[in-house]
Chain A
């Protein structure tokens, strides 16, 4: 029976079906609550039976996520969720496998697995909660903390340059790269739906507030008073326009760099770049744009998912050699009889 057939036959699911019986133990006010709520809201709408969802996480605050989802879940070890999820997805392509990770889990200790999962285009939906701090270990700087970050482990400020998660994902040719914000409920839901529909790896950086150790890190992007001027909404086929008065836009300057221009000030709407998710070079440039900060889908492109490619190889081998015969394999090569 196909997944679609199951979906129509099954009773309609609601958000409550995805809420587990475990008490949520994140700090009150944590951005994770909103992300959890959006995921639980979107899941029932996707048309896949609940038992087909699996949430896999590593270690860190975000990695408690699977315990709160009433789906199959696996809370693994620090940084390794993409590797565990890869083994599952390869051997069980029928499952919808979601990885929940953070800036420390996914980009520090587990950076290797993250980039290789994306490079291979394994069909995982990877949610990277980026709060630019280590929360569970009580406030050390992370690989996405800004240069000069003062924390308990860097009392004089950090001296290493941070990762840009979107640029990392673009750098390994990920096929779906997006950013959203914990409190932007509707936007985040849309991005989650897009990620689910994407064939292959989907990488979503979710800007998330840690109200205990790095409070307000994304305030300028979520504050209603400022966000219109600080956030650039990426929409496929739409001009890159932003600002409270929708009077600012992004152009390609004569120096072939992205430029922020004010409309009417010598620039017209025709000069503004139109977002194209399939345009990889444009996504590279947008990945490095900081002011304004783009949110939305930077890049989405079709490429055969790893597990599909492997499945095809197995099928081709079966077609060519027939289903395996263990006894024939035992007897392969030179044999002889001892009487």
Chain B
């Protein structure tokens, strides 16, 4: 297909355009990290959500804040899947790729569906940028991309022209070009631009000239789509049939912050976050720092260790202490987490996992810290470990982590990852009053008080706020005597206390709801996952089932202790497949715990599973 180039377009009578229905569309915006692609993607997401579609998003940005402009290292992308059906993932391969420069093209073109639309900014494909991306000739013109529909639009040129009267510098004006792309795509997919116009109004309210410029460029892009002959068809994706109610978009990190806040409010406790900035967890700190009128304390500590220690100090004081980090930071916190295990105080540790080991892939996703969470401390040191399955589920599991921490007087680790943290989905907004209660009982009665006298049901020790008269006592990291909590080096007492701590954590199993099996209750194959693979696995399983095959799915949100009914469920299936974005951590645990011959499926590329990968693996196993 010959590239079509449009320099300028006279706006006249709009040609009549065809409207076509699409079930779902996957679009990826890609450009330089300074091109505003994340923002463009997020706004397109909001527009799509308001259009009633179900959505899934995947931002993909470089670790460097501003890699040299135009280079492959500096490419930033945002993928969105919007659909009239239920969406589980951001989609495997985009139907549409918006490439603002040659580097963005080079990094992303391999993923574009054959026959897919490539929308490129002509101005971005100048000689300098082509050279930086390593192209000898312009791929838009040399026929090398013949299997795609190439649409070249002079987005930069038209942006500058639209802004001629505003007397902005060329640099400032050309930075508005992402709004041209957004406007154009909004038209092509029949998205409303009003939400973005409102957003611009709010976002740039301190600089009215940018409100005017960005709004103008957005409309220019939209109208260009309407009038240009480049697009003969306007696509429409009907609203999805999702559960009725009021929705908004949330990313995993926002949902997690809201879950913590809601739980603290439900419990009637002050929320204290001790944290140190680290990708991809920092947005939780940013989010909670906005909630000061709720009485939330956010403390940016001097390091990861001080983050968790300050949180534990706040829990000692009768608040709910939380620390947020990623794998490398969790490694630093483990000694303090173990102190929390020993002194049996509530504490929530959120690990927003990323690729590792060491610094690894800071902005890419992985779920390889399960061992670290369950086993990563010295000695026999058990604590509850939970994992969120979707961005919205981060809310539920954060709430649950706080509830369990308080009920059982224990540190709880909550696992999320970069994919959930930055990904967004429509979230059915809960009502605070309908959330489960989180009872808190501070001991104030001096008579019969012993710091380690356990509740017979939960095995939790009493929580006493310093300042309570008559209950002065000391806690610490040295082994405690049963009941009194005094220092004890007695061999028998150490074994008794070690077993008591383990029993207490095991008792959390009584709170785990029955495991949901998607599909048949028994059969040839069950796919067992945890964490952010939920979307890919669900979609992969559904795809195979749509072909008439039998496959079931179990997704774990409680990793320690495991659901009490899990062993029985696993034994009802001939084959157990465990896809993980690691080398097989849950796999090892399931094999060791239940003596089942589960098989692994492992992807360690900093990217989520594709639906097609999961489906293909299931089919291979079913065919034996």
Binding site for B on A (CB under 8 A): 20, 22, 49-52, 54, 56, 59, 66-67, 69-77, 80, 83-92, 94-95, 112-113, 116, 310, 313-314, 317-318, 320-324, 326-327, 329-339
Contacts and interface: CB of A to CB of B under 8 A. Distances in A.
B450 interface: no
Given A67-B476, A113-B302, A317-B292, A336 B50 contact: yes
Contact of B313 (A51, A52, A67, A88): A88
Interface of B: 46, 49-50, 52, 195, 199, 239, 242-249, 258, 261-262, 265, 270, 272, 274, 291-295, 297, 299, 301-303, 305-306, 309-314, 316-319, 321, 335-336, 339, 343, 429-432, 466-478, 486-487
A86 B335 contact: no
Contact of B474 (A67, A77, A320, A326): A67
A116 B467 contact: no
B474 A87 contact: no
Nearest to A56: B313
Contact of B272 (A72, A91, A95, A334): A91
Given A51-B469, A86-B299, A90-B272, A331 B313 contact: no
B600 to A, nearest CB: 36
A69 B339 CA distance: 21
A99 to B, nearest CB: 11
Contacts of A335: 246-248, 429
Contacts of A51: 466-472
Nearest to A324: B294
B310 A76 contact: no
A326 B261 contact: yes
B310 A66 contact: no
A339 B265 contact: no
Contacts of B468: 51
A316 to B, nearest CB: 8
A119 to B, nearest CB: 9
B519 to A, nearest CB: 26
Nearest to A78: B335
Given A84-B316, A87-B317, A94 B467 contact: yes
Given A84-B316, A87-B321, A330-B432, A74 B247 contact: no
A329 B312 contact: no
Nearest to B315: A87
Given A73-B476, A74-B343, A320-B293, 17 more contacts: A20-B474, A22-B487, A51-B469, A51-B471, A66-B476, A67-B476, A72-B467, A80-B305, A83-B309, A87-B316, A88-B314, A92-B314, A113-B305, A327-B432, A331-B246, A333-B249, A338-B246
B310 A90 contact: yes
B474 A73 contact: yes
Contact of B52 (A84, A332, A336): A336
Contacts of B49: 334, 336
Contact of B295 (A84, A116, A314): A314
Nearest to B298: A310
A91 B314 CA distance: 6
Contact of B318 (A80, A92, A317): A92
Contacts of A313: 292
B474 A74 contact: yes
A185 B201 CA distance: 68
A329 B318 CA distance: 25
23 contacts: A54-B466, A67-B474, A77-B309, A77-B336, A83-B302, A84-B309, A87-B299, A87-B311, A88-B317, A91-B272, A91-B317, A91-B319, A92-B467, A95-B466, A113-B305, A113-B309, A314-B297, A329-B261, A334-B49, A337-B247, A338-B242, A338-B245, A339-B244
Q: Is the interface of B mostly helix, strand, loop or mixed?
A: mixed
A313 B295 CA distance: 10
Complex A-B, nearest 3 residue pairs according to Cβ-Cβ distance, in ascending order: A75-B476, A87-B313, A324-B294
Nearest to A72: B466
A23 to B, nearest CB: 10
Contacts of B242: 338
A334 B248 contact: yes
Contact of B477 (A52, A77, A89): A77
Contacts of A88: 313-314, 316-317, 466
A77 B475 CA distance: 12
B475 A86 contact: no
Contacts of A338: 52, 239, 242-247
B474 A66 contact: yes
Contacts of A333: 248-249
A49 B469 contact: yes
B479 to A, nearest CB: 12
Contacts of A73: 472-476
A84 to B, nearest CB: 4
Contact of B429 (A71, A72, A113, A331): A331
Contacts of A50: 469, 472
A17 B520 CA distance: 67
Contacts of A318: 292-293, 295
Contacts of A331: 246, 248, 429
Contacts of A76: 309, 312, 339, 476-477
B544 to A, nearest CB: 28
Contacts of B303: 112
Contacts of A314: 292-293, 295, 297
A54 B244 CA distance: 52
A329 B427 CA distance: 13
Contacts of B294: 323-324, 326, 329
Nearest to B475: A74
Nearest to B430: A330
A90 B299 contact: yes
Contacts of B50: 334, 336
Contacts of A54: 466
B193 to A, nearest CB: 13
Contact of B476 (A74, A92, A334): A74
